[in-house]
Amino acid sequence: MSTELTVEDNVKIFINNIVKKYNLNTDTNKITYNPGSGNDDGYMSTTYAVDINDSKQSLHLFLKCALNVTFPGGTAFKSVYTNEIYFYERVIPAYMEFLGKNGVTDSFRNVPECYGSADKKVLALRNLRSDGYDLCDKKFIGNEEHIELVLKTYAKFHAIGFAYKDQKPELYNNLVEGVVDIFSNVSEDLNKQRVEGAKVLIQDFLSRLDPKKDKFILDQSQNIVDKLAEFDLSLRTHTYANYILIHGDCWCNNMMFKYTDSKEYPDDVMLLDWQMIRSASPALDLVYFFYTTAPASEEILKRVDIFLKIYHEELSNQIKQLGSDPDKLYPLSLLKKEWQEYAKFGFCRAFLILKAMLSGKEELPSFDDSDMTEVLKRGSLFNNVDSNHEYIRRLRNLAEHFLLKELI
């Protein structure tokens, strides 16, 4: 074991239990621990890459250990972390059983294998890097090939939820009851703080625009501030019957891609970090992903309707294979209606996500207890950002898109 890495005793005990569970003939000298992520790869966990080797086989694990963090409002992150464990140990097995009974082969299997959990805060997954997967190059995540692949992958995941809920409503509802919706218990005081923080952030962005070059945006600046800042980020008031389990945290650091040659053209994708799963509209996953990646290209933003059709065609095909009627469960007209309604959620997320995507390691905050309050001060996101920064360029593209499409 590396002498430079401190590994807690509970982690070592957990790994030893995995060794026993899989009947590996090994000892501690054949178990190696390394850091699992860089500072800019993971924010809410301590991670380890663990290699277990014996004479016949090897296991390459990625361990996630919940940080001892408390969010404003008193929600302990370790209580939210149980969502991901529940997803791997209950949701995915139920979904895979449903797929197997319906005989669907080309469906959603885009998550790493799970080897177990401990104390509701330690999770062992297959290390996808051992299979050739890696985080994307931030330059290419906004291109057509990545966006189409990810949207089709979400379509496959959402389709299982729609068909399962349609055909086995009691089993599905029992499954969903085990998910913790971290957005449902946000205090009114915290919501007010978020609205005021959002106003500061949006106004700061607008102040960096060029009065001549960006006149189209600035002429509607007050409308932008009011519409975005007052948008209910928790979406607690909506009660559409078509709600299913969604990923909920759809940005590029929660995806790993596999490539044959160029990193412009991915062959496959795995979706990670399922702490934010909840019952909601699938459109939330789509606007979150699309509007935090597509602003890199004005041409991609112009093709939003084409990408919606690509997603819906895959969704419909999967739902049909699973034995349900897509026109009844989620027609294209309803997707477009919800996109129009929820698009602002994607814009709000873009302020935070684009900063994380485009910042250097030295600019990224840590997420320990001492820094959490500072991290959530939205105005601090613009440190060292001038009007020509790539961050501002992408937000400018996004603002123009939203105004032209009458989404705000």
pLDDT tens per residue across span 301-346: 999 999 999 999 999 999 999 999 999 999 999 999 999 989 998 9
Query: 9 vs 3, 6, 12, CA distance in Å?
Result: 15, 9, 5
Asked, for residue 60, whether it belongs to a domain, the answer is no
Phi, psi (5° rounding) for residue 76? -75, 135
| Total of domains in the chain | 1
Indicate the pLDDT class of residue 68, thresholds 50, 70 and 90. Answer: low
Q: How far is CA 319 from CA 154, 159, 160, 330, in A?
A: 13, 5, 7, 10
In this predicted structure, the answer to whether residue 152 has a pLDDT above a threshold of 70 is yes
Q: Let me know if residue 374 belongs to a domain.
A: yes
Give domain status of residue 54, yes or no.
no
Question: Are the C-beta atoms of residues 227 and 408 closer than 8 Å to each other?
Answer: yes
- Is 126 within the bounds of a domain? no
- Residue 103's domain spans which residues? 77-112+138-404
Lowest-confidence range among 95-99, 156-160, 312-316, 344-348? 344-348
327 within some domain? yes
Is 96 part of any domain?
yes
What pTM did the predictor assign?
0.90
Task: Confirm whether 21 is domain-assigned.
Answer: no
Identify the pLDDT of residue 196: 77
Task: Tell whether 194 is covered by a domain.
Answer: yes
Domain CATH for 290? 3.90.1200
Residue 172 has pLDDT above 90, yes or no: yes
- DSSP secondary structure of 338-357: HHHHHHHHHHHHHHHHHHHH
Please tell me the predicted confidence (pLDDT) of residue 400: 95
Residue 378: pLDDT band with limits 50, 70, 90:
very low
